[in-house]
Amino acid sequence: MSKIEITRLHKRYENGTKEKTLLFSKNVSADRIFGGEEGFVLKDVNLKIEEGSFHVFLGASGCGKTTLLNIIAGLLPKTSGSVKMDGKEIEGISPERGLVFQNADNVLFPWLNVLQNVEYGLKRKGFKGEELKSKAAGAIELVGLAGHEKKYPNELSGGMRQRLQIARSLASDPEILIMDEPFGALDAQTRMLLQSELIRIWKSTGKTILFVTHDLNEAVLLGQKISILSAAPDASIAYNETVPFDYPRDPLDSDFVQYTAEIHKKLNEAIAVHADRIIDKSA
Binding site for ligand ATP (CB under 6 A): 13, 19, 21, 32, 34, 36-37, 41, 59, 61-67, 232
Minimum CB separation of residue 21 from Mg ion in Å reads 12
> Which of 66, 208 has the CB closer to Mg ion?
66
Taking the CA atoms of residue 203, residue 226, residue 245 and residue 141 in that order, the dihedral angle to the nearest 10 degrees is -20
> Which of 36, 92 has the CB closer to ligand ATP?
36
* Number of amino acids touching Mg ion (CB under 5 A): 1
DSSP secondary structure letter of residue 35: -
Q: CA angle at residue 114 from 112 to 118, to 5 degrees?
A: 90
Which of 218, 181, 165 shows the shortest CA–CA distance to 65? 181
> Which of 11, 249 has the CB closer to ligand ATP?
11
DSSP secondary structure letter of residue 230: -
> Which of 29, 134 has the CB closer to ligand ATP?
29
Binding at 232: pick from Mg ion, ligand ATP, none (beta carbon under 5-8 Å per type): ligand ATP
24: left (phi over 0), alpha (psi -120 to 50) or beta: left
> Which of 46, 67 has the CB closer to ligand ATP?
67
Minimum CB separation of residue 231 from ligand ATP in Å reads 10
Binding at 24: pick from ligand ATP, Mg ion, none (beta carbon under 5-8 Å per type): none
Minimum CB separation of residue 212 from ligand ATP in Å reads 7
Minimum CB separation of residue 152 from Mg ion in Å reads 28
> How would DSSP label each residue in 183-252?
TTTS-HHHHHHHHHHHHHHHHHH--EEEEE-S-HHHHHHH-SEEEEE--SSSB-EEEEEE----SS--TT
Binding at 168: pick from ligand ATP, Mg ion, none (beta carbon under 5-8 Å per type): none
Does residue 102 bind Mg ion (CB under 5 A)? no
DSSP secondary structure letter of residue 154: G
Question: Which of these segments, 62-70, 112-120, 197-205, 238-246, binds Mg ion (CB under 5 A)?
Answer: 62-70
What phi and psi values does residue 260 have, to the nearest 5 degrees? -60, -40
Question: Which of these segments, 65-73, 123-131, 136-144, 160-168, binds Mg ion (CB under 5 A)?
Answer: 65-73
Minimum CB separation of residue 184 from ligand ATP in Å reads 9
- Paired residues of 82 in beta bridges: 7
Minimum CB separation of residue 256 from ligand ATP in Å reads 24
Does residue 66 bind Mg ion (CB under 5 A)? yes
Instruction: Give me the long-range contacts of 69-72 (CB less than 8 A, separation at least 24).
Output: 69/178, 69/180, 69/210, 69/212, 70/21, 71/9, 71/11, 71/42, 72/4, 72/6, 72/97, 72/178, 72/210
> Which of 21, 190 has the CB closer to ligand ATP?
21
The answer to whether the CB of 85 falls within 8 A of the CB of 176 is: yes
Minimum CB separation of residue 37 from ligand ATP in Å reads 6
Contacts to Mg ion by CB under 5 A: 66
